[in-house]
Amino acid sequence: MTGGTTVIPDAGSHPLPPYRGLLAVDVVRFTDNRDRYLPELSAMIPDVLEQAFARCGQDRIWQEKRFPELPGDGYVFGIAPQYLPFLIHPFLDSLQATLWELSPSLRARDRALTMRLRASIHVGPVYDQDDPLRDRKGKTTNDAFRLLNSDQLREVMAHAEPDVTLVGAIISERVFQDVVEGGYTAVHASQFRRVAAEVPEKNFKQHAWIYVPRPTFPDGAPGTDGRTAGKWDGRTDGQAVTGASAVFRERVGQAFTGGTFHGDFNFRET
């Protein structure tokens, strides 16, 4: 300190950018929809997100979002870190419900028209200075998009019943540790499944956690590593394990009652 002023050393050190939570979403199999609908589907994404936040009483998160961007088939924005628990719950379930209500109107226009969303939630230092050329740029944002595009999340959504499971989310390890294991969100740790999230063409691989608000899986949930919250199964790669999470237990065609799924799933480690 010199005269009450903090001196920042210039020997290669720099101030850390502020920590921001990040929500990134994109539309599952966006270009499978007819070309003439794609501009409208893209424009609908922020409206759907806004409705989902309003539906669950979290309008403030949407109103205070930072550096939003609509890159075509998705949307990304930053939030103050204290809002992260509410992104997991109640927002993700509200997003599923919002898309569920939207589905009949989409099918009324075209039987093949759908909107299902993948979502990723991450946190870390992010440049945020009201500078549209520089805001959001950096590793934290890149990792959020890598998680969103990971093979494991794509496989989960590909194997789920498309008319029922409309949202699949992947939560970074850091968010899971701070928010879920820390007890700050209403979704229990056992409702997540740990995965080794990979984007091979980007040389990306990180542990993360998948949560599906309304799951349906025909024969198994691909991409999991056999570990429930904080507990390793101990089997070697490639061995089948039985999932303990209620989120990944339902077989397509079995009853969904009272918010609980019944049945068993075989998981394979990555």
Domain ranges of the chain: 19-220
Domain 19-220 CATH class label: alpha beta
Given this model, what pLDDT does residue 32 score?
Answer: 75
Residue 94 burial (CB < 10 Å; 0-12/13-18/19+)? buried
8 Å CB contact between 99 and 51: no
Given this model, what pLDDT does residue 142 score?
Answer: 94
CA-based Rg of the chain, rounded to a whole angstrom? 19
Which residue's structure tokens are 């009272």?
258
The CA angle 42-85-192, to the nearest 5 degrees, is 85
Q: 33-56: buried (b, 16+ CB within 10 Å) or exposed (e) per residue?
A: beeebeeebbebbbebbebbbebb
C-alpha 109/C-alpha 265 separation (Å) is 36
pTM, entire model = 0.78
Q: What is the mean pLDDT of the chain?
A: 81
Tens digit of each residue's pLDDT (9 = 90 or more) over 124-177: 999 998 888 888 888 999 999 999 999 999 999 999 999 999 999 999 999 999
Lowest mean pLDDT among 12-16, 35-39, 237-241: 237-241
Given this model, what pLDDT does residue 7 score?
Answer: 60
DSSP 3-state of 178 = helix
Neighbours of 183 (CB within 10 A): 10
Rounded mean pLDDT of 235-261?
32
Given this model, what pLDDT does residue 236 score?
Answer: 30
Q: Is the pLDDT of residue 99 over 50?
A: yes
